[in-house]
C-alpha cells in the first residue's frame, strides 16, 4: 500500500475510532454509575417490575429515569433506543487500524530485526492470540462455572496474563501492547454482540409476546457489561501506550503492562463499589500508590543508570552513528523501504537538529532501546552507550 494512502487510512480510522470509543465508554460509565445510584421510592409509588429510580440534572433540565422490567400487560414503547453501534464501530475501526498500522506496516513495526519470526508469522501469532484469547474467555464465562467468580476471575487473569507474556516476548513492545489491547477490545465488543444484544432482544420479544421477563437473561447481560466496564481503564492505557517508550520499551515491558492493567481495573472496581462500600477511599489510594510505585520501580533504574566510562565523546563520533543508524528513516528523504517521510517529522540532518533532540535520543535509544525501530539499522550496544554518554556530558557540538 502506498505510504500516503496508509497514513490517510490511519488518520481517518483513528479519528472515528476515538469518537466511537468515547461514546461507547461514556455510555458504559454513565449506565454503571446510574445503576449504582438507583433508589427505591416509597411503597405507594412503586409498581410491579420497578427496579429503582433516579433523578438527574443536565443541560438545563431534570431527567427522571425508572429502571424496570416490563411485566404483562405492559406494551413496548413506540420508540426504544439501543446502544450498540458505538461498540461495533469502535471494534471495526480498531481492528482495521491494527491491520493498517501493524500487519501492513512492515516487519519493523511487528518484531525486532533479530527475531526469528517473519512478518507473516508475527501477524499470525498476534491475530491468533486475539481470536483464540477471545474464544477462550467467552467459553470460560459460558461454562457451568459462570457464577463461580472465585474460580473464573483468576482463570481470566491468567488468560490475559498469558497473552501479555507471550506477545511481549515474541513481538516488538509496541506491537505486543496494541495486540493485547485489541484482545481486550474484542472481548468487550464480543460481549455486546454475543451476549448483551441477544439478551436485550429476548427482553423485547418477551414483552411483545406478553410473556414475563426472565431475570436470568438480564443477569447474563449485566455480568458481561460489568466485565466491559472493568476492562475500560486497562484498554484506555493501552490505546495511549505507544507514546510512552519507558513502558513498552522496558526490559520488563510485560510486567509494566500487567501492573498497569491490574491497577487500571482495580481503580475502576473500587470506583464502581464506592457507593456501597465505606472504606473505598483508602482502598483507592492503596491501588494507586501500589501501581504507581511499581511503575516507578520498574522504569527508574534504567533511566538513572550511570555510564560505565567517563571519557569525553566527540560530536564527530555521534554524527557518524546517527548517519548510519538513524538517517535511513529520520531525514527529509528517507532511504528506508517503508518510511518515506521522516517519522513524526523528526530529522537528524544537521548538528542543531541532533542537539535539539538530545534528551529524546537518550530516552529512545539508550534508556528504552525502542530506536532504531526494530533495530533495523543494526546499532550496537557500544554505540548506544556512546550516544547516552554524549547526552549526559551536555550534548556538545565540539
Q: Write out the residues near ligand HEC by the rule CB under 6 A.
A: 108, 242, 325-326, 328-330, 336, 339, 343-344, 346, 357, 360-361, 364-365, 371-373, 376-377, 379
Residue nearest to ligand HEC (CB): 326
d(C-alpha 156, C-alpha 163), whole Å: 11
By beta-carbon proximity to ligand HEC, the closer residue of 167 and 326 is 326
Q: How far is the CB of 344 from ligand HEC (least distance, A)?
A: 5
Element at 67 (helix H, strand E): strand 61-68
Q: How far is the CB of 348 from ligand HEC (least distance, A)?
A: 7
By beta-carbon proximity to ligand HEC, the closer residue of 170 and 172 is 172
Q: How far is the CB of 294 from ligand HEC (least distance, A)?
A: 24
By beta-carbon proximity to ligand HEC, the closer residue of 21 and 105 is 105
d(C-alpha 26, C-alpha 23), whole Å: 5
d(C-alpha 375, C-alpha 173), whole Å: 12
Q: How far is the CB of 15 from ligand HEC (least distance, A)?
A: 16
d(C-alpha 315, C-alpha 398), whole Å: 6
Residue 313 CA: distances (Å) to CA of 35, 309, 350, 383: 63, 10, 18, 11
Q: How far is the CB of 174 from ligand HEC (least distance, A)?
A: 7
Q: How far is the CB of 267 from ligand HEC (least distance, A)?
A: 26
By beta-carbon proximity to ligand HEC, the closer residue of 267 and 365 is 365
By beta-carbon proximity to ligand HEC, the closer residue of 204 and 358 is 358
Residue 66 CA: distances (Å) to CA of 47, 53, 69, 91, 225: 11, 5, 10, 30, 19
Q: How far is the CB of 334 from ligand HEC (least distance, A)?
A: 7
254-284: b (≥16 Cβ within 10 Å) or e: bbbbbbbbbbbbbbbbbbbeeeeeeebeebb
Closest CA to 141 of 184, 192, 84, 195: 195
By beta-carbon proximity to ligand HEC, the closer residue of 156 and 353 is 353
By beta-carbon proximity to ligand HEC, the closer residue of 43 and 345 is 345
Residue 81 CB-density burial (10 A; 0-12 exposed, 13-18 middle, 19+ buried): exposed
First CA to last CA across the chain, in angstroms?
A: 43
By beta-carbon proximity to ligand HEC, the closer residue of 307 and 343 is 343
d(C-alpha 342, C-alpha 272), whole Å: 44
Q: How far is the CB of 143 from ligand HEC (least distance, A)?
A: 40
By beta-carbon proximity to ligand HEC, the closer residue of 287 and 391 is 391
Reading the block at residue 142, the C-alpha cell is 459460558
Nearest 5 degrees, angle CA 331-CA 302-CA 374? 35
How many C-beta neighbours within 10 Å does residue 134 have?
21
Reading the block at residue 225, the C-alpha cell is 457489561
Q: How far is the CB of 53 from ligand HEC (least distance, A)?
A: 48
Amino acid at each position: 500500500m502506498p505510504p500516503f494512502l496508509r497514513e490517510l487510512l490511519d488518520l481517518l480510522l483513528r479519528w472515528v475510532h476515538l469518537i466511537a470509543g468515547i461514546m461507547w465508554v461514556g455510555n458504559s460509565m454513565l449506565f454503571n454509575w446510574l445503576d449504582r445510584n438507583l433508589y427505591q421510592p416509597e411503597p405507594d409509588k412503586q409498581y410491579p417490575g420497578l427496579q429503582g429510580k433516579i433523578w438527574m440534572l443536565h443541560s438545563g433540565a431534570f431527567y427522571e429515569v425508572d429502571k424496570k422490567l416490563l411485566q404483562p400487560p405492559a406494551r413496548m414503547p413506540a420508540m426504544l433506543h439501543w446502544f450498540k453501534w458505538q461498540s461495533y464501530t469502535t471494534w471495526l475501526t480498531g481492528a482495521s487500524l491494527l491491520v493498517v498500522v501493524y500487519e501492513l506496516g512492515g516487519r519493523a513495526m511487528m518484531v525486532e530485526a533479530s527475531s526469528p519470526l517473519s512478518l507473516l508469522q508475527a501477524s499470525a501469532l498476534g491475530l491468533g492470540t486475539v481470536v483464540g484469547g477471545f474464544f477462550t474467555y467467552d467459553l470460560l464465562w459460558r461454562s457451568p462455572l459462570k457464577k463461580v467468580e472465585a474460580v473464573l476471575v483468576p482463570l481470566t487473569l491468567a488468560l490475559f496474563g498469558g497473552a501479555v507474556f507471550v506477545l511481549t516476548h515474541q513481538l516488538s513492545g509496541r506491537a505486543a501492547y496494541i495486540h493485547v489491547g485489541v484482545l481486550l477490545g474484542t472481548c468487550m465488543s464480543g460481549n455486546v454482540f454475543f451476549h448483551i444484544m441477544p439478551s436485550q432482544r429476548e427482553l423485547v420479544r418477551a414483552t411483545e409476546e406478553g410473556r414475563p421477563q426472565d431475570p436470568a437473561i438480564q443477569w447474563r447481560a449485566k455480568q458481561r457489561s460489568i466485565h466491559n466496564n472493568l476492562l475500560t481503564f486497562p484498554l484506555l492505557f493501552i490505546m495511549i501506550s505507544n507514546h510512552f517508550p519507558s513502558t513498552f520499551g522496558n526490559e520488563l515491558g510485560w510486567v509494566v503492562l500487567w501492573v498497569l492493567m491490574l491497577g487500571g481495573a482495580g481503580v475502576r472496581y473500587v470506583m464502581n463499589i464506592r457507593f456501597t462500600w465505606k472504606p473505598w477511599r483508602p482502598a483507592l489510594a492503596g491501588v494507586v500508590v501500589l501501581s504507581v510505585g511499581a511503575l516507578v520501580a520498574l522504569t527508574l533504574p534504567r533511566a538513572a543508570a550511570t555510564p560505565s566510562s567517563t571519557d569525553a565523546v566527540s560530536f564527530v563520533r555521534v554524527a557518524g552513528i546517527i548517519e548510519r543508524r538513524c538517517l535511513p528513516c529520520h531525514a527529509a528523504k528517507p532511504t528506508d523501504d517503508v518510511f518515506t517521510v521522516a517519522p513524526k517529522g523528526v530529522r537528524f540532518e544537521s548538528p542543531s537538529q541532533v542537539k535539539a533532540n538530545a534528551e529524546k535520543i537518550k530516552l529512545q535509544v539508550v534508556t528504552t532501546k525502542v530506536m532504531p525501530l526494530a533495530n533495523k539499522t543494526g546499532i550496537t550496544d557500544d554505540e548506544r552507550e556512546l550516544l547516552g554518554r554524549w547526552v549526559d556530558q551536555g550534548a556538545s557540538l565540539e
